[in-house]
């Protein structure tokens, strides 16, 4: 996906993001701050675009923050499986 296409795509789904109306929730907490991670994940759990958010974060390899209800470590595991599936399919 080109950077321009990424910008258009992210702008569309972000309009419905639950985190737009959230104050006081840190979506880029320190990895050791489990309470902050839980607060961010709780918002993501009720987000109508969580699947789009997670897909975008994995496809663009976002390595910080909670996206789509997943931490960077959780997304890395998903990304590894996703890349393996692509390799097997090609
Ligand atoms: S899934 Fe979480 S980080 Fe992604 S748009 Fe929704 S609330 Fe924001």
Nearest CA to ligand 1 atom 2: 44
Say if ligand 1 is within 6 A of residue 37 CB. no
CB 39 within 8 A of CB 26: yes
Domain range list for the chain: 3-89
pLDDT computed for residue 51 by the predictor: 96
Compute the distance from residue 85 Cα to the ligand 1 centre, in Å.
25
User: What is the reported pLDDT for 53?
Assistant: 96
Give residue 10's pLDDT. Answer: 66
Binning pLDDT at 50, 70 and 90, where does residue 2 land?
low
Torsion region of 22: left, alpha or beta (phi above 0 gives left; psi -120 to 50 gives alpha): beta
List pLDDT tens digits, range 4-58. 666 666 668 999 999 998 999 999 999 999 999 999 999 999 999 999 999 999 9
User: Which pLDDT value is given to residue 12?
Assistant: 87
């Amino acid at each position: 996906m080109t950077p321009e296409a990424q910008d258009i795509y992210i702008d569309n789904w972000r309009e419905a993001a639950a985190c737009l109306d959230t104050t006081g929730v840190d979506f880029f907490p320190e990895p050791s701050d489990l309470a902050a991670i839980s607060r961010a994940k709780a918002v993501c759990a009720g987000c109508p675009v969580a699947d789009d958010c997670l897909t975008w974060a994995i496809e663009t390899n976002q390595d910080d923050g909670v996206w789509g209800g997943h931490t960077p470590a959780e997304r890395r595991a998903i990304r590894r499986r996703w890349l393996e599936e692509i390799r097997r399919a090609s």
